[in-house]
Chain A
Amino acid sequence: MMSPALVLGASFGYLLLLFAIAAYADRRADQGRSIIDNAGVYALSWGVYCTAWTYFGSVGRAASGGVWFLPIYLGPMLAMLLAWVVLRKMVRISQTYRITSIADFIASRYGKSPLLAAVVTLITVVGMLPYIALQLKAVSAGYDVLTANAGTGREPGWWLDGTFYVALLLAAFAIIFGTRHLDQSERHEGMVAAVAFESGVKLLAFLAVGGFVTWGLFDGMADIWARAQQMPEITRLLRLDNGAGSFSHAQWFAMIVLAMLSVLLLPRQFQVMVVECVNERHIRRAAWLFPVYLLLINIFVLPIAIGGLVLFGSGVMDPETFVLSVPLYHGAGLLALVVYIGGLSAVTGMLIVETVAVSTMVCNDLVTPALLRSRRFARRSGGDLTRLLLNIRRAAILTVLLLGYLYYRIAGEAYALVSIGLISFAAVAQFAPALLGGMYWKGGTRTGALAGLTGGALVWAWTLMLPSVAKSGWIDAGFLDGPFGLTLLAPESLFGLTGLDYLTHSLFWSMLVNIGLYVGLSLARDPSPREASQAVLFVDVYETHAAEPVFWRGRARLADLRDLAGRFLGAERAQALFHEHARDMGVAPDALVADARLVDRVERQIAGAVGTASARVMVESVAQEEPLTIDNVLDILDEASQVRSYARQLEQVTSELRDANEELKSLDQLKDDFMSSVTHELRTPLTSIRALAEPDAGHARYRRCRPRRILGIILKESERLGRLVNQVLDLAKIEAGMAEWNTCDIDLRQLVADSLRATSELFREKGAEVVADLAPDLPPVQADPDRMMQVMMNLLSNAAKFVPVPGGRVDVSLSRQGDGLVVSVRDNGRGVDPAEQAVVFDKFRQVGDARDRPPSAGLGLPISREIVNNLGGEMWLESEPGQGACFAFRLPLQPEGGVDEHQGSDRG
């Protein structure tokens, strides 16, 4: 056993560490270097889902119900499969409209109704009390086990109860890190970092105790099971029916659905997943990291539970404390303390986030609206309200924790941890129809949501909450058989409905009433203009992003708006807000007009501080609004969609223009290259002609000696010049589509053979061997014989230029491939580098080093390709460096049954 001082000291030290981490994260955030801006930390912070319920309760549940602890974690797994679809939309909506709590979310969706916000807040507060009590119960039970206080039977007064002080200490933590800024839509980085850290601590502590039981006290999981099989009641445990005869699959299903909804709708989950989301792209990775976390923290639950039963025997120890008692009674006191700290982090994480979330709702949706309405408050209006609002929030945190403590004192002993938690789960499940329905169905109305929520919550209270109080003896137990003897109203078998367990029963009735009223009353009446406009903003949040419609008509004075913003945001932030708006609008700050967009912006900013419903009320109070009509809403939507479609068109035209400009630029570059190459190529022969014709003494003598030879050179050079000019003209003509084509049936075999004969002299000069492999009996192709001759001459003379001397070899082949004839000319020269293969067909682009390449105008290949393309064929190069190059082209055979135009002209 441990001394209370040691346990308290360690707990306090741990809380101090949390303070340090939170303070560090807050400082980093202020410097703009967030430590929570990644998917890993984001997913860890979701681990706040695992509370004392998971940590202590799961083992207890497993010891009595086998695998029945699992649906609470399988539900989130299924919910996470849809996180990218549903959660991302929640995040997008909340961040666009600066929504900071579930109450805000629902109220905002149904026309920013303050009444709806208040109802949601009340349900949350009442619904969360059992959950908060659960945490306090777990801390105190754990403390009792460690200090062997259990079973003394002496109930200490509340002033001696350590749990009370734990509650106070946690309130202090939540107040310090949860209420730093008034604007809730600014994230609580410190709090999130601390919570993520706590998730890590509780996981490691739980894995440590699991490893200790499995491999320290037993010889692996199989050994635990082998020893458990000697106890028949344990063997029966690991069946779906727990040995009770039949599998109550309705309850299994209900628990999965409940957990699936809770993981999105619990106030603390909404806080860490939606409000504290830094970047919605993190959802994608966190959505699978979080189930991994849940799987890890659950993997040792059964081994610990069964191991504990084997070691202690059933009925000796409370299985909910196995994680502590097993190490404690088997000589691992230090481990027990570590595990206790792990449990403490599960508790503190939950309590801090939950109270911050709930206090935001209480402040924004219960207290502030009441304050804003009261006359006394109105008299002292003006002045900065931020301080007051923060204090309200602080008081709310304290109150919620103390109410939780009260519930723990009242009803804490009657239920197991898991059962208490399920009561809260069933409460938040009531939000599902209004919230999820509101995200996907535009027809939902305020009346429907209000009636559904109220009805569902009342049924929940009647069938689940009140029985929990009754079972602990605070209400006469006869209540469970129906009040005043009315058995039809018996809370756990309403209208005589039996055959369901109490949880499924409650969930069934409350959901039936909730969904029935929500859908029924929504259908009974058309949505009001404001409801309809909010419905559009929520359901179409992805579409309305580009040009957001602003549903507001009326007049406001700039001074009033400034005043209002100053009161809720503080003078400094209000100033910044107006400057920013002026900049976005492109006007000077003094020239701002109080138009709909500005009013909307101010309202949104205030909403971040006091909630959407209160913000609406405040804006209404300073501006003269025209009531929205359905026609207004339609007009505004129409305008917005027009703006959107203009924007889209503009974007399209811009991108087309940009593409065209790029193309023009590259063509221009090509033209410049072409010009400079042509002039260079023209100058070379000109220079040599001019040099030979120069009336210079030295040359004169030379000319006298070898006049015939000099004239020969001049002639050759001017021929080259003429050929080049012809080529340029030729290419220009083909490219411009002005060339004349004398297309007729030609025998390609004959043409290739002719070309080989014509170039035989070239190859003989180089001593190269030419091998022709021409397939016989080929059908004729449609082509221009002169042009084709030109192509062949080009390819052959090109090959002749590159073959090595001596030992050159050129293979020419003609064959039929599919519906075309392919001619290839392969040399055994040095080949073409892959990088250069792309450019050999470009004009005047000669491949290779300038020094060792043979002289050429470089127009042969581009012209050849243009010709082949124009005849509907294609030309390509296959080459590997060192392996020679193979230029080939393919001409299509004319289709059966008719001659058609050559198809090449449509090519660029």
Chain B
Amino acid sequence: MKGGSKRRRQILIALCAAGFALLNFPLLTIWDREITLFGLPLLPVALFAIWAGLIVALALVSERSARPRRPPPRDGGGT
């Protein structure tokens, strides 16, 4: 469990750094064009999409580690 929680910490910190990069200059300027997506301006759509993506990633990390993985039951036949 200890090793797992340390790893989760590192994943979260890495996610936060990735979020900072995605939501700031200069990556943000990629979306800054006069293009529409499904009839909607690209910039806000991209911002909300990145936001939703971060939420999904956070939810996956949080919920998966909420249930500690158990080792598979030992095979009783052979040994």
Bound together, the chains give a CA A548 to CA B43 distance in angstroms of 52
Contacts from A to B (Cβ < 8 Å): 66-67, 70, 73-74, 77-78, 80-82, 84-85, 221-223, 225-226, 235, 238-241, 247, 249, 252-253, 256, 284-285, 287-288, 291-292, 295, 299, 302, 837-838, 874, 876-878
The answer to whether A238 touches B41, judged by C-beta atoms less than 8 angstroms apart, is yes
The answer to whether A225 touches B41, judged by C-beta atoms less than 8 angstroms apart, is yes
Q: Indicate with 1 or 0, residue by residue over B8-19, a CB within 8 angstroms of chain A CB atoms.
A: 110011011001
Using known A-B contacts A84-B62, A295-B52, determine if residue A221 contacts B40 with beta carbons closer than 8 Å: yes
The answer to whether A67 touches B44, judged by C-beta atoms less than 8 angstroms apart, is yes
Residues of A within 8 A of B40 (CB): 221-222, 225
The answer to whether B58 touches A288, judged by C-beta atoms less than 8 angstroms apart, is yes
Bound together, the chains give a CA A221 to CA B36 distance in angstroms of 12
Q: In chain B, residues 37-52, which have Cβ atoms closer than 8 Å to a Cβ of chain A?
A: 38-41, 43-44, 47-48, 51-52
Bound together, the chains give a CA A226 to CA B79 distance in angstroms of 71
Using known A-B contacts A225-B36, A235-B34, determine if residue A292 contacts B55 with beta carbons closer than 8 Å: yes
The answer to whether A291 touches B44, judged by C-beta atoms less than 8 angstroms apart, is no
The answer to whether B29 touches A247, judged by C-beta atoms less than 8 angstroms apart, is yes
Bound together, the chains give a CA A874 to CA B54 distance in angstroms of 51
CB nearest neighbor in A for B10: A85
Using known A-B contacts A222-B39, A240-B43, A288-B62, determine if residue A81 contacts B28 with beta carbons closer than 8 Å: no
Contact of A85 among B9, B32, B36, B66 (CB under 8 A): B9
Min CB distance, A720 to chain B, in Å? Answer: 30
Contact of B8 among A80, A84, A288, A299 (CB under 8 A): A84
Residues of A within 8 A of B13 (CB): 82, 85
Residues of A within 8 A of B24 (CB): 249, 252-253, 256
Residues of B within 8 A of A876 (CB): 77-78
Bound together, the chains give a CA A240 to CA B23 distance in angstroms of 12
Interface status of B76 (Cβ within 8 A of chain A): yes
The answer to whether A78 touches B62, judged by C-beta atoms less than 8 angstroms apart, is no
27 intermolecular pairs with C-beta atoms under 8 Å apart? A74-B51, A77-B19, A78-B16, A78-B23, A81-B19, A82-B13, A222-B36, A222-B40, A223-B39, A225-B40, A235-B34, A238-B43, A240-B29, A240-B32, A247-B28, A247-B29, A249-B25, A252-B24, A284-B63, A284-B65, A285-B66, A288-B59, A292-B55, A837-B76, A874-B78, A874-B79, A876-B78
The answer to whether A77 touches B25, judged by C-beta atoms less than 8 angstroms apart, is no
CB nearest neighbor in A for B50: A74
The answer to whether A253 touches B16, judged by C-beta atoms less than 8 angstroms apart, is no
Contact of A67 among B12, B43, B63, B78 (CB under 8 A): B43
CB nearest neighbor in A for B26: A249
Contact of A877 among B15, B19, B32, B77 (CB under 8 A): B77
CB nearest neighbor in B for A78: B19
Residues of B within 8 A of A225 (CB): 36, 39-41
Contact of A81 among B12, B36, B39, B65 (CB under 8 A): B12
Residues of B within 8 A of A878 (CB): 77
Residues of A within 8 A of B62 (CB): 84, 284-285, 287-288
Bound together, the chains give a CA A223 to CA B16 distance in angstroms of 35
Residues of A within 8 A of B20 (CB): 78, 256
The answer to whether A222 touches B47, judged by C-beta atoms less than 8 angstroms apart, is no
Bound together, the chains give a CA A253 to CA B9 distance in angstroms of 24
Residues of A within 8 A of B19 (CB): 77-78, 81
Residues of A within 8 A of B32 (CB): 239-241, 247
Min CB distance, B62 to chain A, in Å? Answer: 5
CB nearest neighbor in B for A289: B59
* Other A-B pairs, 18, CB within 8 Å; known A837-B77, A878-B77: A67-B43, A78-B54, A81-B16, A222-B36, A225-B39, A225-B41, A238-B41, A238-B43, A238-B44, A247-B28, A247-B29, A252-B28, A284-B63, A285-B63, A287-B62, A291-B51, A291-B58, A838-B76
Min CB distance, A445 to chain B, in Å? Answer: 27
6 A-B pairs with the lowest CB-CB distances in the bound complex, closest first: A222-B39, A838-B76, A249-B25, A81-B16, A876-B78, A288-B59
Min CB distance, A551 to chain B, in Å? Answer: 27
Min CB distance, B18 to chain A, in Å? Answer: 9
Using known A-B contacts A85-B13, A247-B32, A284-B66, determine if residue A291 contacts B43 with beta carbons closer than 8 Å: no
Most-contacted residue by chain B among A81, A239, A291 (CB, 10 A) = A81
The answer to whether B77 touches A85, judged by C-beta atoms less than 8 angstroms apart, is no
The answer to whether B41 touches A291, judged by C-beta atoms less than 8 angstroms apart, is no
CB nearest neighbor in A for B19: A78
CB nearest neighbor in A for B62: A284
Min CB distance, B19 to chain A, in Å? Answer: 5
Bound together, the chains give a CA A253 to CA B66 distance in angstroms of 33
Residues of A within 8 A of B47 (CB): 67, 70, 74
Most-contacted residue by chain B among A73, A77, A222, A877 (CB, 10 A) = A77
Bound together, the chains give a CA A253 to CA B48 distance in angstroms of 17
The answer to whether A239 touches B51, judged by C-beta atoms less than 8 angstroms apart, is no
Min CB distance, B3 to chain A, in Å? Answer: 15
Residues of B within 8 A of A295 (CB): 48, 51-52, 55
Contact of B12 among A82, A235, A838, A877 (CB under 8 A): A82
Q: In chain B, residues 54-79, which have Cβ atoms closer than 8 Å to a Cβ of chain A?
A: 54-55, 58-59, 62-63, 65-66, 76-79
CB nearest neighbor in A for B54: A77
The answer to whether A838 touches B51, judged by C-beta atoms less than 8 angstroms apart, is no
The answer to whether A239 touches B43, judged by C-beta atoms less than 8 angstroms apart, is yes
Residues of B within 8 A of A82 (CB): 12-13, 16
Bound together, the chains give a CA A565 to CA B47 distance in angstroms of 54
Min CB distance, A189 to chain B, in Å? Answer: 25
Residues of A within 8 A of B23 (CB): 74, 78, 256
Most-contacted residue by chain A among B15, B43, B51 (CB, 10 A) = B51
Min CB distance, B22 to chain A, in Å? Answer: 10
Residues of B within 8 A of A288 (CB): 55, 58-59, 62
Residues of A within 8 A of B65 (CB): 284
CB nearest neighbor in A for B38: A222
Min CB distance, A878 to chain B, in Å? Answer: 8
Residues of B within 8 A of A78 (CB): 16, 19-20, 23, 54
Bound together, the chains give a CA A302 to CA B46 distance in angstroms of 14
The answer to whether B58 touches A80, judged by C-beta atoms less than 8 angstroms apart, is yes
Residues of B within 8 A of A221 (CB): 39-40
Bound together, the chains give a CA A70 to CA B34 distance in angstroms of 19
The answer to whether B39 touches A226, judged by C-beta atoms less than 8 angstroms apart, is yes
Min CB distance, A35 to chain B, in Å? Answer: 22
Min CB distance, B52 to chain A, in Å? Answer: 7
Bound together, the chains give a CA A85 to CA B29 distance in angstroms of 30
CB nearest neighbor in A for B74: A838
Residues of B within 8 A of A256 (CB): 20, 23-24
Residues of A within 8 A of B48 (CB): 295, 299
Residues of B within 8 A of A247 (CB): 25, 28-29, 32
Most-contacted residue by chain A among B8, B52, B62 (CB, 10 A) = B62
Residues of A within 8 A of B76 (CB): 837-838
Residues of A within 8 A of B58 (CB): 80-81, 287-288, 291
Residues of A within 8 A of B28 (CB): 240, 247, 249, 252
Bound together, the chains give a CA A284 to CA B67 distance in angstroms of 12
The answer to whether B55 touches A77, judged by C-beta atoms less than 8 angstroms apart, is yes
Residues of A within 8 A of B12 (CB): 81-82, 84-85
Min CB distance, B64 to chain A, in Å? Answer: 11
Min CB distance, A690 to chain B, in Å? Answer: 40
CB nearest neighbor in B for A239: B32
Min CB distance, B78 to chain A, in Å? Answer: 4
CB nearest neighbor in A for B36: A225
The answer to whether B25 touches A253, judged by C-beta atoms less than 8 angstroms apart, is yes
Bound together, the chains give a CA A771 to CA B77 distance in angstroms of 26
Bound together, the chains give a CA A288 to CA B32 distance in angstroms of 27
The answer to whether B51 touches A81, judged by C-beta atoms less than 8 angstroms apart, is no
The answer to whether A291 touches B55, judged by C-beta atoms less than 8 angstroms apart, is yes
The answer to whether A291 touches B54, judged by C-beta atoms less than 8 angstroms apart, is yes
Bound together, the chains give a CA A80 to CA B19 distance in angstroms of 11
Bound together, the chains give a CA A74 to CA B41 distance in angstroms of 19
Bound together, the chains give a CA A64 to CA B54 distance in angstroms of 27
Bound together, the chains give a CA A299 to CA B39 distance in angstroms of 16
The answer to whether B39 touches A252, judged by C-beta atoms less than 8 angstroms apart, is no
